[in-house]
Homo-oligomer: A and B are copies of this chain.
């Protein structure tokens, strides 16, 4: 009891503590990252989706394809489909609110190009040991979890396990080569975050060819992880998909042919002469660790209560046009 009474007196006798200064926001940390922390994205790893113009304005959606070890069977098929100009003249056929935008051949009768691989379900994940180690990927197990009430705002850099890194869908999670993943002890898989691009399929054991694609435009549907292949993410132009009118049919399919959004062309980025260059913030960099910590513990002037954690899909990997 004595201590409870004395403490306020001691505080009153000391000089008033200065209020903590606001710390950089996530965008400020990203803007201050040195050039060496940015990694160029090869144009040959981009898929460029040109929709019919809207009000005379072009609509270009740029997708980054996923690198090894993830989903390379489907990515290979997608490269073949683009090379064959297979998507030219197809359309966006489904826009389901808080879920996905889906495109491909609405007739479901267009012949696929020869040589596409049939990929087994086992390719939805990879061995955990194929993920690169990094400071951020320090795998947490139950014994290192810290209850959020006792964490307080401390930098991830000095206390890498201090951030609440729980994952409701996995044992742990992290980033590899700029991509979010979740993992069990044995296997790792990419995660269905906003703007991720996946492969539509029929009922199992069908795994889809890659001809039917979707992009996530809502809260992360993580229940799709390990049930559908993810092959990339939209890095520019997502608004051309997310702001489309919602379909009124079951699952958000457009009910009338005229509602569909025509696709003019889909090309690999290296086929397009004037394409901007893109780069992502290395998820192995100190800048990224600081950014992720700031996403989990906002201390810029607007915030009064740092969260103490962030889910993997609330730490979007920064991607920008290269200067």
Contacts and interface: CB of A to CB of B under 8 A. Distances in A.
Contacts of A95: 243
23 contacts: A95-B243, A97-B239, A98-B194, A124-B305, A147-B171, A148-B169, A148-B171, A148-B184, A165-B168, A166-B166, A168-B310, A204-B303, A218-B218, A220-B311, A222-B307, A223-B296, A223-B310, A225-B307, A226-B304, A226-B305, A227-B302, A227-B305, A239-B246
Interface string A296-315: 10100111110111110110
Interface string A100-126: 000000000000000000000100100
B166 A314 contact: no
A168 B182 CA distance: 14
A245 interface: yes
Interface string A214-251: 00001111110111000000000011001111100000
Contact of A311 (B186, B302, B311): B311
B218 A311 contact: no
Contact of A204 (B148, B169, B222, B302): B302
Given A245-B243, A302-B203, A98 B166 contact: no
Interface of A: 95, 97-98, 121, 124, 142, 145, 147-149, 164-171, 184-186, 193-195, 203-204, 218-223, 225-227, 238-239, 242-246, 295-296, 298, 301-305, 307-311, 313-314
Given A97-B242, A98-B238, A239-B246, A221 B149 contact: no
Nearest to A204: B304
A164 B184 CA distance: 13
Contact of A194 (B124, B171, B218, B238): B218
The residue among A219, A220, A295 with the most chain B CB atoms within 10 A of its own CB is A219
B164 A149 contact: no
Contacts of A225: 305, 307
A108 B311 CA distance: 35
Contacts of A97: 238-239, 242-243
The 9 closest A-B pairs by CB, nearest first: A166-B166, A168-B309, A226-B305, A239-B246, A194-B219, A168-B311, A223-B307, A169-B307, A164-B168
A2 to B, nearest CB: 24
A289 B95 CA distance: 29
